Amino acid sequence: MNDSSGGVALLDLEPATSDFREQVVAGLSASPRTLPSKFFYDERGAELFQQICELPEYYITRTEHEILREHGPEMAESVGANAELVGFGTGAGVKTRMLLEHLDNPIAYVPVDISKERLVESAMALRLQMPELEILPVCADYLQEMRLPVPSRKPDHIAVYFPGSTIGNLEPHVALGFLKRVCQLCGPDGGLIIGVDLQKARHVIEAAYNDKAGVTAEFNFNLLVRANRELGADFVLPCWKHRAVYSEQEGRIEMHLVSQSEQAVHVGDHVFVFRAGEHIISEFSYKHTIQGFAALAASAGFRLSRTWTDPQQLFAVLHFVVPV
């Protein structure tokens, strides 16, 4: 469905409320219990995540910005001229603008994000900054198959941009499937620019997900707030606690909502009984090595072309190409 929200030609493939309900019920019925992290990003969740990105403990956004400022021209050179840029989960679009400003004659920009409000706002802001660029936003779950809009001018090739280390939220087998679809989208002349959070000391990682201001906790609780509002659930927020721990064995942050007492929660006709101390997994965030992630991408059909990182080796931006 097309929507002209805010004067932007939006392709609206936003997941229905029924999808949210089905996935919440399925996740709470599983063992261990889970909630789908992609549903963090309603309007309030997007606002909270933007606040997280500005926190002193959250090194990810700050470090990625530094890499883009330092190496943006090199990244643009690697992408090449006359490209159609497809952005997955690009959020507020700040990092995308930093890349687009250096690209040689970009043909079009196709941002794909699950948060409609944030998507429209960022597309409108970018239109004001780059009025000559064709912008074709798509509200969708980018993990699902979809047909992207076709630009009015034909690009020489497609470049996919996936910033923010969002790839880390995907289980390895899901990440592999996603990368295979991206590789197919890129084609033999295209490429992928992707942000990857690197493995590092536990205390640095855990601090980023347990900030002193409690913004990440509020972001986590927003899943429950959204379930209450949209699904008629009856989660009582003071009965839950935010917890984020780093598993060195798995190489991932594990974010939980922990029940503080024995309680029953209703979601429509479904009743879920929780013991005190029982947890719901709300998000995994995998941290990679450059070599390990390059091997994963190679399994999807990519070859690592260039690597950019910060002096502390906290974060990396990688450029992959499709071997001919």
Q: Does residue 215 sit within a domain? A: no
pLDDT value of residue 254: 97
Angle 137-157-161 from CA coordinates, rounded to 5°: 50
Residue 68 within any structural domain of the chain: yes
In a domain, 213, yes or no: no
pLDDT value of residue 7: 52
Considering the domain boundaries, does residue 313 fall inside one? Answer: yes
pLDDT confidence of residue 2: 52
- How confident is the model at residue 16, as a pLDDT? 67
Query: Does 4 fall in a domain?
Result: no
What pLDDT is stored for residue 168 in this prediction? 95
Total domain count for the chain? 1
Which residues are within 8 A (CB) of 132 and not within 5 positions of it... i.e. 6 or more apart? none
- Residue closest to 60 by CA, chosen among 179, 166, 212: 166
- Are 179 and 303 contacting, i.e. CB atoms less than 8 angstroms apart? no
Distance CA 309, CA 318 (A): 9
| Residues in the chain, pLDDT under 70 | 1-8, 14-17
Q: For residue 87, count other CB atoms closer than 10 A to its CB.
A: 26
Q: Is residue 12 in a domain?
A: no
The answer as to whether 245 is a domain residue is no
Structure tokens, 204: 């640095």
Name the average pLDDT for the chain. 93
The answer to whether residue 25 sits within a structural domain is no
Structural domain of residue 179, as residue ranges? 59-200+288-321
Q: Looking at residue 81, which CATH number applies to its domain?
A: 3.40.50.150
Distance, CA of 321 to CA of 324 (rounded, Å) = 9
